[in-house]
Amino acid sequence: MFERKTFRLFKLGKEVRLEVVTEDRWKVLSASDETGFKQGDEVCPPRQIGWREAKRRVNSARSSLSPNRLVLLRGEGLERSEDEVQTLLLVRPWDPEVPPAA
């Protein structure tokens, strides 16, 4: 039997429930309207962290990674090929701390 790995990110009433696609790439199962994400969107964290670290609970009101910080890789109106998504995950143009991949 295949077990789906799911987790949630939350902060002050905003919540995103996610399914693990890879360690640092996730699919949205459900999301609060305020986050702007829709079911089926593929997202990643803004920096290179795994899903276990991201889901860590900081306190009763928030998780380690805020749902507002997720980066949309693929979703409604934003269709990218698998190669384009892989390139984005390597280069991470939104993160100035990560040097471009060689």
Q: What confidence category does residue 41 fall into, taking pLDDT thresholds of 50, 70 and 90?
A: very high
* The residue to which tokens 């905003």 are assigned: 14
Q: How far is CA 12 from CA 3, 20, 30, 49, in A?
A: 29, 23, 16, 22
Name the nearest CA neighbour of 23 among 8, 5, 3, 38.
5
State yes or no: pLDDT of 102 exceeds 60. no
Q: Where are the alpha helices (DSSP H) in the chain?
A: 51-55, 82-91
| Residues comprising the chain, all counted | 102
89: which 2 tokens?
A: 């995950």
Distance CA 61, CA 41 (A): 24
pTM, two decimals, is 0.86
